[in-house]
Amino acid sequence: DPEKYKFRTMRQKLIECSDVLDEQIELFTKFAKEHLNIPDTEFGDPTIQSQADVYAIGRIVPDSPQYDGFLNTESLAFETSRLNGIGRRIRLNLEQVEEVSLFCGQIALLKGKNANGDYFLVDKILDIPYPDFPLSSSDELSEYSDLLNKKSSKVIVTSGPYIPENNFDLSYLTKFVEKINIDIRPHILIMAGPFIDTTNSMVMSGNLPHFDNLKIQPTTLNELFVKLISPILKKINPSIQVILTPSTRDVMSTHASYPQESFDRKALQLPKNFKCFTNPSTFQLNETYFGNSNLDIFKDMKEVTKGGKTTMSNRFDRVAEHVLQQRRYYPQFPGSIKKMTIAKPKSEDSRSADSKIYKHISGADLEVAYLGLTEFVSNISPDIIIIPSELLPFARVVKNVIMINPGKFVKPNGANGTYAQISIKSPDVKDGSLTEIPGEESLYLHNVWKRSRVDVVTN
């Protein structure tokens, strides 16, 4: 419900934040008890000494509130809910576990024992069940397939920045719009921000050029968007639906926190084939469920890993699995921050890193009290999840979900970037690509991962 994202920002209350953090643990406790056949009596408070093994659910946290940012398997602790352990934290001993992939903010289900009151000796880290997939009836599916004349649907995904760090060259965007209209002609074009980034070095330093092609120079960054970007986007063929999702660093958004309200289409001066969605958002194109979150969890998640199987596996897959298990698009807490050193310690006073002076640049900007809006809608896993990242573009199938990072549209130095092209074969109940779930009325798994092809294309 996009209305729920229209809360006023810059008014966080500590109590509301902690309520949400507590609810996250309680939610998974309820959930684990329902889905894993563990009797109630085997759950316990891991922070108190006990002779028996217990199951415990809590949040992975550092063992010291002042940790220096680099964690390892010996510096993790476990936070209990108010109900289960009066919110106490207990150090984790992971010596007996061979494979570990944990991160701060993760809600984990552990089995182990607190023999002496000092630490919880973990015997096993349990997998939290993956969410269910959406289903459709055969009538719905044939309706969708008729809508497209049984042809494949084509979706293009791009992600900002669209402007390099050193000049205002918009030729890639101009050429891209031509290509979209003439060659690609997708059904849907999803464009994620930032369109104009408040942390772009030209914007931060005021180093903006005179725009020779404009009669009246823009006076604000908003006008810069309307005068430079909107005219190019308006040229997109009106038969193509365009979905815009903001970044918290987008100039055109007044809502600078995550979860984030959608852009105002009228303020962007864009025509009606443009739809503005919230960040994150879940939406359906025919049968396919899309999840789209514009906050870089692939870059930000700082995992603590151990074990051959874990460390040899693909990191993108592990992060994607965590996102699916946690059922939230940005499960890390606290969110990342980006800062810049502006003064180094003097040589005689370089004992501690604290003597450095930092300037805050940007961050995940989590609105903690509203993190509920970043959870998977109805606890259902989208068929396709799009999370733009600064890291290398990719498309991978993880637990039958297609995970896509389209990559940056332009590179900071002005070189051409990438976008993602998805084609999804029209659903056909008879061709065996859909899995039937028998019941009173037969329903089908979409199996979008079996029917799709994703290409990461260079601009």
Partner 1 sequence: SSGIHNLEPLETTISDMERFKDSAKFELNCPNCSHLFPFGGIIASNFYKMCYNGVQCKNCDHVFNMIQFTSQLESVIRSHISLYYAGWLYCDDSTCRNVTRQISVFGKRCLNDGCTGVMQFKYTDKQLYNQLLYFNSLFDMEKNKKQLLKPLYYEGDIDYPSEQLAESAILALTEQNRKLFEISQGVIDKYLDNCGRRYVDMGAIFDFMMN
- Which residues here bind partner 1, judged by CB under 8 A? 7-12, 14-15, 17-19, 21-22, 25, 61-62, 65-66, 79-82, 87, 89, 198-199, 203-208, 210, 217-224, 248-249, 251, 254-257, 334, 337, 359-368
> Min. distance of Cβ 112 from partner 1 in angstroms?
20
- Indicate the residue among 321 and 375 with the shorter CB distance to partner 1: 375
Nearer residue to partner 1 within complex by CB, 144 or 195: 195
Nearer to partner 1, 222 or 310 (CB): 222
Q: Are 227 and 214 in contact (CB under 8 A)?
A: yes
Bridge partner residues of 205 (DSSP): none
Where do we find the tokens 């290409």?
A: 455
CB of residue 115 to partner 1, shortest distance in Å = 20
Query: Minimum Å distance from CB 295 to partner 1?
Result: 12
Q: Residues 394, 405: contact at Cβ < 8 Å?
A: yes
Q: Which is nearer to partner 1, 81 or 93 (CB)?
A: 81
H or E element in which residue 28 lies: helix 14-35
Joined together, the tokens standing for residue 28 give 């998974």
Residue 81: half-sphere exposure toward Cβ, Cα within 13 Å: 22
Q: Quick one: 207 or 435, whose CB is closer to partner 1?
A: 207
What is the rounded distance in angstroms from the CA atom of residue 176 to the CA atom of residue 169? 13
Nearer to partner 1, 142 or 222 (CB): 222
Q: How far is the CB of 186 from partner 1 (least distance, A)?
A: 32
CB of 234 to partner 1, least distance (A): 22
Instruction: Report the distance separating Cα 123 and Cα 53, nearest Å.
Output: 9
Instruction: Give the separation between CA 292 and CA 288, rounded to whole angstroms.
Output: 13
Nearer to partner 1, 189 or 252 (CB): 252
Contact assessment for residue 123 and residue 96, using Cβ atoms and an 8 Å cutoff: yes
Closer CB to partner 1, 137 or 217, in the complex:
217
Give the Cα separation of 422 and 85 in Å (integer). Answer: 47
| Least distance between partner 1 and beta carbon 305 (Å) | 22
Q: Which CB, 297 or 420, lies closer to partner 1?
A: 297
Q: Which is nearer to partner 1, 252 or 319 (CB)?
A: 252
Q: With b meaning 16 or more CB within 10 Å and e meaning fewer, what string describes 189-215?
A: bbbbbbbbbbebebbeeeeeeeeeeee
Q: Is 139 helix (H, G, I), strand (E, B) or coil?
A: helix
Whether the Cβ atoms of residue 105 and residue 301 lie closer than 8 Å to each other:
no
Q: In terms of CB distance, is 201 or 442 closer to partner 1?
A: 201
In angstroms, what is the minimal distance from the CB of 92 to partner 1? 15
Residue appearing with tokens 């906050």: 295
Distance CA 236, CA 255 (A): 27
- For the bound state, the minimum distance from the C-beta of residue 5 to partner 1, rounded and expressed in Å, comes to 12
CB of residue 95 vs partner 1: minimum separation in angstroms? 23
**DSSP run (H or E) holding 108:** strand 107-113
Measured CA distances, 434 to 133, 146, 380, 401, 437 (Å): 12, 17, 18, 14, 10
Q: Strand runs (DSSP E) across 238-336, as ranges?
A: 241-245, 274-276, 281-285, 288-292, 303-306
Amino acid in the structure at residue 335:
G
Cβ proximity to partner 1, 39 vs 65, nearer residue: 65
What's the closest the beta carbon of residue 11 comes to partner 1, in angstroms?
3
The CB-of-74 to partner 1 minimum distance in angstroms stands at 18
CA–CA distance from 259 to each of 107, 301, 360 (Å)? Answer: 20, 18, 20
- DSSP calls for 108-149: EEEEEE-SSSSEEEEEEEEPPPPPBPPEEEHHHHHHHHHHTT
C-alpha–C-alpha distance, residues 382 and 132, integer Å: 9
Least Å distance, CB 379 to partner 1, is: 22
